[in-house]
Structure 1
Amino acid sequence: MIVTTTNDLEGFRVIKHLGMVRGLTVRSRSVLGSLGASLQTILGGNITLYTELAEKAREEAYDLMLQHAAERGANAVLAMRYDANEISDGVTEVLAYGSAVVIEPRS
C-alpha cells in the first residue's frame, strides 16, 4: 500500500476513487504513566511517556486506516492526514484519514 500526503503520485495515475478511509483510536494514560510523566515534567525535556503514547496512538490509527483502505480494494491512500483531539482529561482520540484509490503506473 502506497501512502502519501500529496494529492497525486508522480509516475502513477488514479484509475478509481474509492472514497475516504479512516482509522480511529482513543487512548488514555494509565495512573502510573501519568505519575511518571508528571515527574518527567519537573525535570524538563522530552516527556518520553507521552511521546510513546502519542506514537502508539498514531501507529494504531494509521494501521486501522490501511486496513479500511485494503477492505475497499485500494492499493494507495492519497492526501493522508492525522488529527487528534482531547475527549476528556487524559483521553485523546487520534484519527488517520485519506482518500483510498486504485493507482497504476503511467506508461
Structure 2
Amino acid sequence: MIIVTTDFVPGKEIKELKGFVRGSTVQSKNIGRDIMAGLKTIVGGEIKEYTDMMEQARKQAIGRMVEDAQQKGANAIIAMRLETSAVMQNASEIIAYGTAVYVD
C-alpha cells in the first residue's frame, strides 16, 4: 500500500477514486506509565513510556486505515492525515484518514 500526504502519487496516475478511508484507536494511560511519567516530571526529559504508547497507537490507526482501503480495492492512500483528540480524562483517540485510490 502506497501512503502519501500529497494529493497525488509521484510518477503514478490515479485511475480510480475509491473513497474516504479511516482507522482509529483509543489509548489510555495506565498506573505503571503514570508512575514513570511522574518521576520524569521531577527530573525532566522525554516521557518515553508515553512516546512509545502514542507510536503504537499511530501504527494501529494507520493499519486499520490500510485495511479499510484494501477492502475498497485500493492500492494507495493519498492526502493521509493523523489527528489526536482527548475523548475522556486520561484517554486519547488517534485517527488516520485519507482518500483511497487505485493507481497504475
- What is the TM-score normalised by the length of structure 2? 0.96
Query: Partners in 2 of 1:23 and 1:41 — Cα distance?
Result: 32
Q: What residue is the counterpart of 1:102 in the other structure?
A: 102
* Percent of aligned positions that are identical: 38
Q: What residue is the counterpart of 1:6 in the other structure?
A: 6
Structure 1 runs of 4+ with >4 Å offset = none
Q: What residue is the counterpart of 1:41 in the other structure?
A: 41
Alignment partner of 1:7: what SS?
Answer: coil
Structure 1: tracts of 5 or more residues without a match: none
Query: Partners in 1 of 2:102 and 2:82 — Cα distance?
Result: 21
Write the letter of the residue equivalent to 2:30: S
Alignment partner of 2:66: what SS?
Answer: helix
Query: Partners in 2 of 1:41 and 1:59 — Cα distance?
Result: 26
Q: What residue is the counterpart of 1:61 in the other structure?
A: 61
Paired residues in the alignment total 104
Query: Partners in 2 of 1:10 and 1:52 — Cα distance?
Result: 31
Alignment partner of 1:12: what SS?
Answer: coil
Please list, as runs of the form range in 1=range in 2, the aligned pairs for 1:76-95 lying within 5 A after superposition: 76-95=76-95
- Give a deviation string over 1:20-70, Cα, whole Å, max 9, x none: 100010010111111111111211111101101110110100110011111
Write the letter of the residue equivalent to 1:91: A
